[in-house]
Structure 1
């Protein structure tokens, strides 16, 4: 919590009323950020807004997969050790994260 206060201090000092969580991992910290920023600050998740835009685009172009269609096959690649990536991915995505392969760049 103290680390969050330290990093958010300049934003708190700026007396903002809205904070855009503009990096992919910030939504994972929404609870901490919200607590530190206080009730008067609205948090906007760029990930959530991007997902909403994507949904609207898929619907408008007829590209949204129907539930009756076969389930997609997901492939996961990690530039680091695949094991920790797979463990973390399973926490967020569920047991369907079965195979993670290593990718060399």
Structure 2
């Protein structure tokens, strides 16, 4: 199992829209995540900072990511959520969600 943590910021004016979307995540998006071997996915919020965590239980994250990205429902979801997000680092070159390196883990 691979633990993945990521962080981004919300566009302040879009905060409530983003949170409202996540109070009712589309079932098709959740199904695609499950089929992509994603488990225990959580998003936490503090101010305009979003912290996401999930566990990947598959064998080929790149292939599963590609399948999820090709899903039409997921693409529509991203079209709704992407305008609400900003990269954590203002000058970041990664997409809005920037992955974090694990510094410590208690098992």
Pick the TM interval, shorter chain. Answer: under 0.3
Higher RCO (Cα < 8 Å, 6 or more apart): 2
User: For the pair shown, which has the larger CA radius of gyration, 1 or 2?
Assistant: 1
- TM (norm. structure 2) is 0.21
- TM (norm. structure 1) is 0.21
